[in-house]
């Protein structure tokens, strides 16, 4: 079975984390999200995936190659210009000849794909859309169905007064390839505002597959942290790396944790990490490979990527810290701060108010004190 994964977006809302890393390549507990997604698809019977990319395509190629490392076939196909969600699938139509899955590449879900496929076949559906309930549908595509699941209406990004249901398009579709005939070639064209309403008008059999599977859009800084918290708290299936030294603490190889350090789970510490005396780490927290955490530092609810130096007596709460940063002693980093890559922060600063540091930023001593 084949799947197309739409990974063309710029990931603007996640900047500066996405300055050097495409959104689907952002690490989730050390593994690029797309790799988790592909493994999940493979384990659910999809053996061939076509990634429709347009941004930092080389990064996908370098990491995924032809997919053999993951035990599946992966094609990475670059669009000449953004073709939109449906246009992107049309662009790879030469690789598609049968019932296929299509995935938005920025959604994390453990949806039962075989269950969805059975549902699609039983109803002789031509297009089945996974649906999930959300509190506020205005940022998504609202989908109305009959009690039997037949889709009656789409409304992309409804205004608050237009909301009639909390069920939204969850970004997983099963499609029959003939529906791509509606998509104009070599043009920007969307599923949500183009193909879906058009196919509906033409009375094609379209069904919603409602489920209460884990579902979250990883495209916002807040949800990026929340997804980590959900993974560490066991709300979504995820094989955590390292050795489980306590029920809620995982530690990689060659990692040294001082005997006076306190680790309160759920915490994952990568390979080659050094944790000095009197450090406190409170979960859900991830400390990436090759990082050094200085004596007396306190870290809670945070995601720290690889090879970071964090000095002594720092306090870091609910922050995301990218790769290769140097954070000197006695810094306080408050909730909502995002530090991207290769930043240097001298001692005695207070970073707060959702501060976002772009790659290679430098902050001198005591210069920021909110």
Chain contacts with ligand GDD (rule: CB under 6 A): 6-9, 52, 54, 79, 82-85, 88, 104-107, 140-141, 156, 168-169, 171, 192, 217, 219
Within 110-260, strands assigned E span 127-133, 141-145, 151-156, 167-175, 206-210, 215-217, 243-246, 249-251, 256-257
Structural tokens at position 208? 């919603």
Q: Which residue has the tokens 């698809």?
A: 41
x/- map, 237-276, Mg ion, by CB under 5 A: ----------------------------------------
Q: Is 49 exposed, middle or buried (0-12, 13-18, 19+ CB in 10 A)?
A: buried
Q: How far is the CB of 106 from Mg ion (least distance, A)?
A: 4
Q: Which of 3, 6, 51, 106 binds Mg ion (CB under 5 A)?
A: 106
User: Using CA of residue 36, residue 42, residue 47, residue 52, what is the dihedral sign?
Assistant: negative
- Considering only 8, 219, 241, 336, the residue that binds Mg ion (CB under 5 A) is 219
Q: Which residues, other chains included, contact 365 with Cβ-Cβ below 8 Å and sequence gap of 6+?
A: 328, 346, 347, 348, 349
State phi, psi for 121 to the nearest 5 degrees.
Answer: -75, -40
Q: From ligand GDD, Mg ion, none, which one binds at residue 168 (CB under 5 to 8 Å depending on kind)? A: ligand GDD
Nearest to 174 by CA among 236, 100, 270: 100
Q: Least distance (Å) from ligand GDD to the CB of residue 83?
A: 5
Q: Give the tokens for residue 332.
A: 């306080």
| Cβ atoms of 278 and 295 closer than 8 Å | yes
- 141 has which bridge partners? 156
CB of 202 to ligand GDD, least distance (A): 20
Q: Could you tell which of ligand GDD, Mg ion, none binds residue 140, using a CB distance below 5 to 8 A set by kind?
A: ligand GDD
Give residue number: closest CB to Mg ion.
106
- We find the least distance from the C-beta atom of residue 191 to ligand GDD, in angstroms, to be 7
Eight-state DSSP code of residue 184: P
Q: Which is nearer to Mg ion, 219 or 221 (CB)?
A: 219
Measured from the CB atom, the residue of 145 and 302 that comes closer to ligand GDD is 145
Stretch that binds Mg ion, among 217-225, 283-291, 315-323, 342-350 (CB under 5 A): 217-225
**Which residues contact Mg ion by CB under 5 A?**
106, 219
């Amino acid at each position: 079975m084949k799947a197309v994964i739409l990974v063309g977006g710029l990931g603007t809302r996640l900047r500066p984390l996405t300055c050097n890393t495409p959104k689907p390549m952002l690490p989730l507990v050390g593994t690029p999200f797309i790799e988790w997604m592909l493994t999940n698809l493979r384990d659910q019977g999809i053996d061939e995936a076509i990634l429709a990319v347009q941004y930092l395509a080389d990064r996908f190629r370098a990491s995924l190659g032809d997919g053999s490392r993951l035990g599946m076939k992966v094609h990475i196909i670059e669009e000449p210009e953004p073709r939109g969600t449906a246009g992107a699938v049309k662009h790879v139509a030469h690789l598609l000849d049968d019932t296929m899955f299509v995935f938005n590449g920025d959604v994390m879900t453990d949806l039962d794909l075989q269950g969805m496929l059975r549902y699609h076949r039983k109803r002789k559906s031509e297009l089945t859309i996974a649906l999930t309930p959300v509190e506020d549908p205005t940022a998504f595509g609202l989908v109305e169905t009959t009690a039997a699941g037949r889709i009656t209406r789409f409304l992309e990004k409804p205004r608050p007064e237009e909301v009639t249901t909390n069920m939204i398009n969850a970004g997983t579709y099963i499609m029959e390839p003939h529906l791509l005939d509606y998509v104009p070639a070599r043009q920007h064209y969307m599923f949500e505002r183009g193909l879906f309403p058009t196919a509906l008008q033409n009375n094609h059999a379209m069904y919603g597959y409602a489920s209460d599977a884990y579902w979250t859009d990883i495209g916002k800084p807040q949800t990026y942290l929340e997804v980590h918290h959900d993974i560490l708290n066991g709300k979504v299936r995820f094989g955590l790396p390292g050795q489980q030294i306590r029920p809620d603490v995982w530690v990689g190889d060659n990692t040294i944790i001082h005997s006076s350090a306190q680790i309160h789970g759920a915490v994952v510490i990568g390979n080659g990490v050094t944790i000095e005396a009197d450090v406190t780490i409170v979960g859900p927290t991830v400390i990436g490979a090759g990082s050094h955490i200085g004596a007396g530092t306190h870290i809670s609810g945070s995601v720290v990527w690889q090879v970071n130096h964090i000095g002594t007596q720092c306090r870091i709460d609910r922050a995301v810290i990218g790769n290769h940063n140097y954070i000197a002693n006695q810094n306080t980093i408050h909730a909502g701060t995002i530090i991207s890559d290769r930043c240097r922060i001298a001692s005695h600063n207070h970073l707060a108010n959702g501060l976002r540091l772009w790659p290679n930023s430098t902050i001198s001593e005591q210069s920021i004190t909110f």
